[in-house]
Amino acid sequence: MSAVHRQCWKFAVDKKKLIYCGGFIIVLVVIVVVTVFLTKHFGPSCAFSSPCPPLWIMFEGKCYYFSKEGKNWTSSQTFCSSYGASLARITTNEKDFIMWLKGKTPYWIGLGRDRDQSWKWINGENATLEVIGNGGDCAYLVDDFKASSSRCNTEHSWICQRPVEAAGPAIERKADGVQLSRQHDPVDGIRTH
């Protein structure tokens, strides 16, 4: 008898090990059968469905997306819009959460202005963050929970924000190639250049 056969025979002789092994296999089969049944009858995400799209993070009733790539302010807002979101409007309630996830990376947020006018959030409300510098008409978030002004055609990462109840991604996504111009955006009145 070979060494492998001797090991198998020793294992089979030890009834206690055989019972444990059989019980483990039965439990494993039951888990697989239940998983297949639930997936077949309720879809693959029945129990663990998230109200946010994949790669988005939920915090206090809102979904957030922190991009890994850079785009200009307008293209960043276009991306957010395709998910029923906008560039983030950050309140003091979200400060620690945002700053922790942001790290040292500069991110576009939904703060802009018409040339030499006051800063406004993308929804038209007056800015609640201090904006430092005079580099442009769009703002990105900096380390000390302040915003810094920048030219809108500069590329930065961006943060999208939407309520949990918002619709999912649009069926037809807008192209990323947005023509940059010095015109007013009809939705929010902020310059999109």
Q: Residue 107 maps to which CATH number?
A: 3.10.100.10
Does the residue 189 lie in any domain?
no
Comparing 27-36, 57-66, 152-161, which segment has the lowest mean pLDDT?
Answer: 27-36
Determine contact, residues 140/106, Cβ cutoff 8 Å. Answer: yes
Whether residues 120 and 152 share a domain: the answer is yes
Task: Answer with the residue of higher pLDDT: 40 or 116.
Answer: 116
What average pLDDT score do residues 90-119 get? 92
Q: State the Cα–Cα distance between residues 105 and 102, nearest whole angstrom.
A: 6
Does the residue 188 lie in any domain?
no
Does the residue 83 lie in any domain?
yes
Residue 193's pLDDT is: 36
Whether residues 9 and 89 share a domain: the answer is no
Q: Which of 15-19, 156-160, 168-172 is the most confident on average?
A: 156-160
Task: Answer with the residue of higher pLDDT: 15 or 9.
Answer: 15
Question: How many CB atoms are located within 10 Å of the residue 86 CB?
Answer: 21
The total number of structural domains that make up the chain: 2
Task: Answer with the residue of higher pLDDT: 40 or 92.
Answer: 92
Residue 60 sits at the vertex; the CA angle it makes with 86 and 56, to the nearest 5 degrees, is 50
User: Is the pLDDT at 142 greater than 50, yes or no?
Assistant: yes
Whether residues 35 and 117 share a domain: the answer is no
- Domain containing residue 101: 57-163
What average pLDDT score do residues 76-102 get? 94
Determine contact, residues 180/103, Cβ cutoff 8 Å. Answer: no
Whether residues 102 and 22 share a domain: the answer is no
Whether residues 157 and 66 share a domain: the answer is yes
Res. 179 pLDDT band, cuts 50 70 90: very low
Q: State the Cα–Cα distance between residues 160 and 35, nearest whole angstrom.
A: 34
